[in-house]
Amino acid sequence: MEGKIEESPVEITKVKDLTPRSDKVNVLVKVTGVGEPKEIPNRFGGEAKKVAEAKVGDETGTIILSLWQDQIGSVNEGDVLSIENGYVSLVRGHMHLNVGKYGKMTKSDKDIPNVNMEVDVSAAEQQQREGFRPRYGGGFRGGDRGQSRRRY
C-alpha cells in the first residue's frame, strides 16, 4: 500500500506538568527574560563552559531554561521556542529545563499571549530521589562500592 506516512502530532507538555523526572518532553514556551552568561569550571580540568539562564513559560507557569555554549545569544525576550526531546534537571535542588545534545530548540511562529508568571516551577526546592546521581557535580563517595564482599 503506497501513500504518505502520517506523522502523529507531537504531544506538548505544559510547564506546570514538568517534574524533576521529566525526560524526552516537548514544550512550547515564551522567553520572558534572559540572564547574563556565567562560566562553569570543568571538574576535570578542561575548558570551562558557559551557561546562561532564561526564564520561559506558557499559560500554566514558568521555569528556568539552561542555555549552554552556542545556545547563548540565540534567544531573546519575547521569542516563542519549540523544545523537542528536552529534559528537566535539578540545579541546587531547583528544576531547570534543558535541551541537551539529543534535543532540539527552534523558534516558533506560534504565539503565547499570556504567560502565567504566578506559578514558577523552578522556585520550589525539590527533594533528590533515592540513588539519584546529580548531572553536574557530586556523585557517590566513600564506602565499599564495587569492592568484593567475599568472606574467607
Q: Looking at residue 95, what is its pLDDT? A: 97
When the pLDDT of each residue in the chain is averaged and rounded to a whole number, the result is 83
Mean pLDDT of 9-24: 93
Which ranges in 50-140 belong to alpha helices (H)?
none
The verdict on residue 9 lying in a domain is no
d(CA 101, CA 116): 29
Strands (E), the chain: 23-34, 38-40, 49-58, 61-68, 80-91, 94-98, 104-107
**Boundaries of domain holding 27:** 15-107
Q: What is the pLDDT of residues 60-74, one digit of tens each?
A: 999 999 999 999 999
The pLDDT > 70 percentage for the chain reads 78
pTM given for the model: 0.76
pLDDT at 96 over 80: yes
CA 80 from chain centre, in angstroms, equals 16
| Banded pLDDT at 40 (limits 50, 70, 90) | confident
Q: What is the CATH number of the domain that holds 71?
A: 2.40.50.140
According to DSSP, the residues that pair with 98 across neighbouring strands are 87
The verdict on residue 74 lying in a domain is yes
Q: Looking at residue 99, what is its pLDDT? A: 96
Give the total number of structural domains in the chain: 1
The verdict on residue 145 lying in a domain is no
pLDDT at 35 over 70: yes
